[in-house]
Amino acid sequence: MSLSTEEIIEIAEKHLMGNVSRYPLALVRGRGMQLWDAEGRQYTDFLAGIATCALGYAPEIVVRALAGQAAKLIHVSNYFYTEPLVRLAALLTGSSGLGKVFFGNSGAEANEAAIKLARKYSRDLYGPGRHGLITARGSFHGRTLGTISATGQAKVKEGFEPLLPGFTHVPFGDVEALRAAVGPETCAVMLEPVQGESGVIVPPPDYLPRVAELCAENRLLLILDEVQTGLGRTGRPYGFMHYEGLKPHIITLAKALGGGVATGAMLAVDEVAGHLSPGSHSTTVGGAPLAMAVGLVMAETILEGGFLAQVQETGAYFLDRLKETARELGPDLAREARGQGLLLALELTRPAGPVVAEMIKRGFIVNATAGAVLRFAPPLIVAKADIDRMIPVLKEAVKTVYPA
- Output the DSSP codes for 255-279: GGGTTTS--EEEEE-HHHHTT--TT
- In 3-state terms, what secondary structure has residue 100? strand
- In 3-state terms, what secondary structure has residue 298? helix
| pLDDT value of residue 95 | 98
Q: Can you name the residues that pair with 57 across neighbouring β-strands?
A: 32
Q: Using the predicted structure, report yes or no on whether residue 361 has a pLDDT greater than 90.
A: yes
| pLDDT value of residue 269 | 98
| pLDDT value of residue 379 | 98
Which contiguous run of DSSP H or E holds residue 175? helix 175-181
Q: Using the predicted structure, report yes or no on whether residue 404 has a pLDDT greater than 90.
A: no
| pLDDT value of residue 11 | 97
| pLDDT value of residue 53 | 98
Q: Using the predicted structure, report yes or no on whether residue 78 has a pLDDT greater than 90.
A: yes
Q: Which CATH number fits domain 73-303: 3.20.20.70, 3.30.413.10, 3.40.50.300, 3.40.640.10?
A: 3.40.640.10
Q: Using the predicted structure, report yes or no on whether residue 270 has a pLDDT greater than 90.
A: yes
**Domain map of the chain by residue range?**
5-59+306-401, 73-303
| pLDDT value of residue 88 | 98
Q: State what percent of residues in the chain have pLDDT above 90.
A: 99
- Quick one: CATH architecture of 5-59+306-401? Alpha-Beta Complex (3.90)
Residue/partner pairs of 69-76 with CB below 8 Å, 24 or more apart: 69/289, 69/290, 69/293, 69/294, 70/290, 72/289, 73/289, 73/290, 74/288, 74/289, 74/290, 75/285, 75/288, 75/289, 75/290, 76/288, 76/289
pLDDT tens for 296-314 read 999 999 998 899 999 999 9
| pLDDT value of residue 58 | 98
User: pTM (2 decimals)?
Assistant: 0.97
Q: Contact, 189 vs 223, CB < 8 A?
A: yes
Q: Contact, 138 vs 202, CB < 8 A?
A: no
pLDDT tens for 90-108 read 999 999 999 999 999 999 9
| pLDDT value of residue 1 | 77
**Average pLDDT score over residue span 50-59:** 98
User: Is 140 one of the annotated active-site residues of the chain?
Assistant: yes
| pLDDT value of residue 80 | 97
Q: What is the DSSP letter of 239?
A: G
Q: Can you name the residues that pair with 225 across neighbouring β-strands?
A: 252
Residues in the chain: 404
Q: Contact, 120 vs 155, CB < 8 A?
A: no
Identify the active-site residue in 45, 102, 172, 225.
Answer: 225
| pLDDT value of residue 149 | 98
Closest CA to 137 of 111, 171, 112: 171
Q: State what percent of residues in the chain have pLDDT above 70.
A: 100
Identify the active-site residue in 140, 240, 318, 376.
Answer: 140
Local confidence band at 74 (pLDDT 50, 70, 90 cut-offs):
very high
Rounded to the nearest integer, the mean pLDDT of the chain is 97
Q: What is the distance between the alpha carbons of residues 192 and 203, in angstroms, rounded to a whole number?
A: 10
Identify the active-site residue in 45, 120, 167, 255.
Answer: 255
**Average pLDDT score over residue span 191-196:** 98
User: Is 206 one of the annotated active-site residues of the chain?
Assistant: no
